């Protein structure tokens, strides 16, 4: 049995928050797309995986982690834009399941494309030199890279919040997610807004892939468990809710890391059990509107 102590618990809690930061980012992208387009992106895990691959690729190409941190999400966002324009857009106005099915097929193509481009073995990763080592947090030393994950996520969340709440385009996004019809009547090209939001959502998925790459194995299948986990986060947080995505992301990360401290075998299970409990007690999730879960 492990000797339990406050520093150990605090360290594990911080690990959980670092893990949760990645979940929060993933769920943010998913919720942003859903809130606006009412499309569940089943290729979200695949975009995460593509982000991780491109991050490692650009790191090798440019030699700088910071460049890859910018370039890879932009590239993933660009792929997202093309996918929305060519594949998802023809499906608007059809059944709600159709975009979901299409993005599911898309995830197959993206996985295989990465296999063709980078091989089936995956790529070796390492923590960028600037962020190696550990930092003293007062209760013990903690890997610097994981602290960086938390900070980076906070920056993205704040930037996204400012973008949506304080800019003109953010105003259009908010209005569009409430009533696309009226926004269109007011003379705004809503299809263009949807296109950009889909691109941003994919770029955020790509960014979380780049950020997560040094902490896990990069291979073409890495997106599959991630997709299921980000669904758990969105269901727990409330579908389409951005604060919900952040809070539930961090909670899921902490639950995972705490369970792996006490019962390592049950760690993967724990977050799904959490979702089951939330479904029983509050089906719409923490921040979801009542009835939304049973609507559409």
Partner 1 sequence: MRSASFAIVDFIAKHRVGAVIVLLIVFPLVMPYQALAINILVFGLYAVGFNLLFGYTGLLSFGHAAFLGVGAYLCGIAIVHFGWPWYLAIVAGVAAATLVGVVIGYLAIRTRGIYFSMVTLALAQIVYYAFYKAERWTGGENGLRGVRVEPMQLFGFTIDLVDPMTKYYVILVFVAAALWFVSRVLKSPFGAVIEAIRENEKRTAACGYDVARAKLLVFTLSAAVCGLAGALRALHLSIVPIDSLHYLQSGQAVMMCLLGGMGTFFGPFIGAAAFLWLEDVTTTMTSHWMLVVGVIFMIFVLFFPKGIWGSLLHWMRRDSRANEAVGETVVPERAL
Return residues touching partner 1 (CB under 8 A): 38, 40, 87, 90-91, 94-98, 100-102, 104-109, 111-113, 115-116, 224-225, 227-228, 231-232, 234-235, 239, 265-266, 268-269, 272-273, 275-276, 279-280, 283, 293-296
**For partner 1, which is the closer residue by CB, 143 or 201?**
201
State in angstroms the smallest separation of the CB of 197 from partner 1.
17
State in angstroms the smallest separation of the CB of 50 from partner 1.
14
User: How far does the chain reach from its first CA to its final CA, in angstroms?
Assistant: 49
**For partner 1, which is the closer residue by CB, 187 or 295?**
295
Instruction: List CB contacts of 60: < 8 A, sequence separation 6 or more.
Output: none
**For partner 1, which is the closer residue by CB, 104 or 118?**
104
State in angstroms the smallest separation of the CB of 266 from partner 1.
8
Angle between helices 168-178 and 144-166 (to 10 degrees): 80
State in angstroms the smallest separation of the CB of 37 from partner 1.
12
**For partner 1, which is the closer residue by CB, 159 or 273?**
273
State in angstroms the smallest separation of the CB of 259 from partner 1.
12
Q: In the structure encoding, which two tokens stand for residue 222, read together?
A: 């890495």
The residue assigned the tokens 């724990």 is: 270
**For partner 1, which is the closer residue by CB, 13 or 113?**
113
Give the closest residue to 35 by CA, choosing from 275, 241, 209, 281.
241
Cα–Cα distance, 7 to 61 (Å, whole number): 40
Contact 29, 211 (CB under 8 A): no
The secondary element (H helix, E strand) that includes residue 135 is strand 134-136
**For partner 1, which is the closer residue by CB, 106 or 152?**
106
Q: In the structure encoding, which two tokens stand for residue 216, read together?
A: 């896990």
Contact 140, 10 (CB under 8 A): yes
State in angstroms the smallest separation of the CB of 1 from partner 1.
20
């Amino acid at each position: 049995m492990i000797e339990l102590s406050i520093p150990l618990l605090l360290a594990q809690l911080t690990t959980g928050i670092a893990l949760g930061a990645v979940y929060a980012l993933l769920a943010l992208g998913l919720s942003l797309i859903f809130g606006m387009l009412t499309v569940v992106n089943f290729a979200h895990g695949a975009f995460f995986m593509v982000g991780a691959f491109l991050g490692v690729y650009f790191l090798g190409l440019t030699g700088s982690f910071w460049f890859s941190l910018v370039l890879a999400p932009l590239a993933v966002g660009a792929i997202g834009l093309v996918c929305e324009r060519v594949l998802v857009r023809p499906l608007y106005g059809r059944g709600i399941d159709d975009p979901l099915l299409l993005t599911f097929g898309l995830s197959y193509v993206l996985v295989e494309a990465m296999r063709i481009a980078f091989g089936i073995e995956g790529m070796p990763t390492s923590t960028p030199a600037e962020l190696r080592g550990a930092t003293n947090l007062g209760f013990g030393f903690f890997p610097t890279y994981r602290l960086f994950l938390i900070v980076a996520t906070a920056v993205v969340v704040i930037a996204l919040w400012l973008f949506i709440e304080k800019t003109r385009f953010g105003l259009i996004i908010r209005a569009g997610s409430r009533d696309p019809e009226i926004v269109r009547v007011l003379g705004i090209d809503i299809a263009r807004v949807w296109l950009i939001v889909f691109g941003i959502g994919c770029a955020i998925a790509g960014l979380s892939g780049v950020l997560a790459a040094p902490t896990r194995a990069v291979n073409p299948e890495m997106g599959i468990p991630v997709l299921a986990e980000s669904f758990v986060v969105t269901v727990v947080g409330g579908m389409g809710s951005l604060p919900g995505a952040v809070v539930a992301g961090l909670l899921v990360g902490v639950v995972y890391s705490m369970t792996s401290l006490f019962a390592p075998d049950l760690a993967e299970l724990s977050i799904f059990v959490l979702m089951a409990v939330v479904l029983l007690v509050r089906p719409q999730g923490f921040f979801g509107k009542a009835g939304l879960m049973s609507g559409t």
